[in-house]
Amino acid sequence: MSEETVQEPEFEEVVVKINRTAKVVKGGRRFSFSALVVLGNRDGKVGYGFGKANDVPSSVEKAVKDAGKNLVDVARKGSTIPHKIIGRFGAARVILLPAAEGTGVIAGAAVRAPVELAGIRDILTKSFGTNNPVNLVKATIDGLRRGKTIEEVEQLRGVKIQ
C-alpha cells in the first residue's frame, strides 16, 4: 500500500461550489464544470482545491487532488481559535473571532466548510466585500493560516507572555 492510500481515510472533503459554463459550438452548447472542494482532517489541517473538467465527478476528483497539495496547519485553542484574525483574498475579507464553548460555528457556507474541517467547533465569522465562494474560501484559509498560538508568539519575540 502506498502512503497516499493510507493517508486518504482521515481526510474529509466538502464540495463548496460546482460551476457550469457553456461554450457554444456548431452542434450546440458544450458544458464544462469547475468544482471548489475543501479538504480537512478536523484536527488542524485544511486545504482547498479547484478543478475543471467536462463532467462533475472528474472536476471534483481534480479539486480533491489539488486540495491535497494546498494543506495548511491551523492554530487552535481548545475548540476555537487563539485570537481575532482577518483573512484577505482579492475583494474578500473574512473576520474570524474566537467564541465561548458551545457557541458553534456561526458562518456562511463558504466560510463554514474550511472552519469545520480544520476542527474548530466554536467561532464567530463575518465576511465583507465579495460573496464569491472561491475568494471567501481562500480568504478564510488565509485567516486560519495567520493564527498563532501563545507559544509561537513567545518563540517569535523571544519573551515570556503571562
Q: Each residue of 15-50: pLDDT tens digit? A: 999 999 999 999 999 999 999 999 999 999 999 999
160 within a domain of the structure (yes/no): no
Residue 97 shares a structural domain with residue 149: yes
Residues 6 or more apart from 27 whose CB is under 8 A from it? none
Boundary residue ending a domain (48, 72, 96)? 72
Residue 7 pLDDT exceeds 50: no
The C-alpha cell at 100 is 465561548
**What confidence tier does 9 reach under pLDDT thresholds 50, 70, 90?**
low
Per DSSP, the three-state class of 44 is coil
Q: Do 108 and 98 belong to one domain?
A: yes
Q: Which residues contact 65 (CB under 8 A, 6 or more apart)?
A: 49, 51
Among the candidates 52, 72, 92, a domain finishes at 72
For residue 45, the domain's CATH number is 3.30.160.20
pLDDT tens-place string over residues 49-67: 999 999 999 999 999 999 9
Q: Which three cell numbers stand for residue 63?
A: 479539486
Domain that holds residue 41: 3-72
Both 67 and 96 in a single domain?
A: no
Q: Which of 72, 103, 121 is the last residue of a domain?
A: 72
Sign for the pseudo-dihedral over CA of 157, 72, 123, 131 = positive
Given a cut of 80, whether residue 3 has pLDDT beyond it is no
Indicate whether 62 and 127 sit together in one domain. no
Q: What is the pLDDT of residue 1?
A: 45
pLDDT band at 143 (very low <50, low <70, confident <90, very high): very high
3-state DSSP call for residue 137? helix
Please state, in angstroms and rounded to a whole number, the distance separating the CA atoms of residues 106 and 113: 11
Mean of pLDDT values over 125-132: 95
Q: Span 109-119, mean pLDDT?
A: 93
Give me the percent of the chain exceeding a pLDDT of 70: 94
- Whether the predicted pLDDT of 2 surpasses 50: no
Residue 159 lies in a domain: no
Q: Within this chain, do residues 121 and 52 fall inside the same structural domain, yes or no?
A: no
Give 27: exposed, middle or buried? Use CB within 10 Å, 0-12, 13-18, 19+: exposed
Question: Which among 71, 69, 77, 74 is positioned nearest to 51, based on CA atoms?
Answer: 69
Q: For residue 161, tell me if it sits in a domain.
A: no
Q: Are residues 96 and 32 in the same domain?
A: no
